[in-house]
């Protein structure tokens, strides 16, 4: 039930409609989480049934009512408990590494090209991160653990560190593959 906690994190900041949550997942949190609206709407209904969120309905565009969800005290408790609970790592599934492991069965140049393409993508992602970092670094809120900007900063630093490591690995993997022949 991790989607539940992702939604609680966003709702702890301020109330949202399901549509807004879908957009924020895509635009803001997509660095480390994502979900489709088809998953979010039923989950919000279940969370309301469990008392973690409440909603106010108002007339919206289209045939149905628009529902604005807000976190409840029970929701805040659940979120705080989960944030402090033990982290259990999920088995990773990394397709890029699986390919590396199987390189003996590949055309080395084709596989090297795959890694170089990914390295390029990561390089442009890193440029984007550098811009966001410059914006965040001048904000004093980023040093205050009670502010949302603190979490943004942590997530960004993680993104920069891992994307850099992966970028360099991709370049090295391509070099090793091409050096072999």
Partner DNA sequence: TGTTGCATGTAAGGGGTTACATGATTGA
Partner DNA sequence: TCAATCATGTAACCCCTTACATGCAACA
Closest by alpha carbon to 163, among 126, 117, 128, 137? Answer: 126
Give me the residue label for tokens 């966001």. Answer: 132
Letters for 127-146 (x = contact with its own copies by CB under 8 A, - = none) are: ----------------xxxx
Rounded Cα distance between 97 and 114, Å, is 12
Contact set for its own copies, span 103-122 (CB under 8 A): 103-108, 110-111, 113-114, 117-118, 121
Closest by alpha carbon to 18, among 2, 41, 36, 46? Answer: 41
Choice from 50, 56, 94, 128 touching its own copies (CB under 8 A)? 94
Give me the residue label for tokens 């929701």. Answer: 75
Number of residues binding to DNA, judged by CB under 7 A: 30
Shortest gap between Cβ of 51 and DNA (angstroms)? 17
Helix (H, G, I), strand (E, B) or coil at 41: helix
- The listed partner (its own copies, DNA, none) that binds 7, CB under 5 to 8 Å by sort, is none
Backbone phi, psi, residue 168, to 5°: -65, -35
- The listed partner (its own copies, DNA, none) that binds 44, CB under 5 to 8 Å by sort, is DNA
- The listed partner (its own copies, DNA, none) that binds 39, CB under 5 to 8 Å by sort, is DNA
Regarding 93 and contact with DNA (CB under 7 A), the answer is yes
User: Left (φ > 0), alpha (ψ -120 to 50) or beta: where does 62 sit?
Assistant: left
- The listed partner (its own copies, DNA, none) that binds 38, CB under 5 to 8 Å by sort, is DNA
Other beta carbons within 10 Å of 85: 8
In the complex, the residues that contact DNA under the rule CB under 7 A are: 1-3, 17-20, 22-23, 34-39, 41-42, 44-45, 60-68, 91, 93
């Amino acid at each position: 039930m991790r989607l539940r906690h992702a939604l609680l994190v966003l709702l702890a900041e301020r109330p949202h409609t399901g549509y807004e949550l879908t957009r924020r997942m895509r635009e803001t949190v997509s660095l480390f989480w994502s979900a489709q609206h088809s998953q979010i709407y039923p989950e919000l209904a279940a969370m309301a049934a469990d008392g973690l969120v409440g909603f106010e309905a108002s007339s919206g565009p289209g045939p149905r009512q628009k529902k604005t969800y807000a976190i409840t005290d029970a929701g805040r408790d659940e979120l705080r408990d989960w944030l402090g609970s033990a982290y259990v790592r999920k088995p990773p599934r990394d397709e890029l590494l699986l390919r590396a492991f199987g390189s003996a069965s590949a055309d080395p140049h084709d596989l090297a090209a795959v890694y170089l393409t990914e390295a390029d993508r990561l390089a442009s992602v890193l440029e984007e991160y550098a811009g966001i970092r410059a914006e965040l670094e001048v904000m004093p809120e980023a040093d205050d653990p009670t502010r949302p900007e603190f979490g943004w900063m942590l997530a960004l630093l993680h993104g920069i560190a891992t994307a850099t490591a992966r970028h360099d690995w991709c370049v090295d993997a391509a070099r090793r593959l091409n050096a072999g022949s």
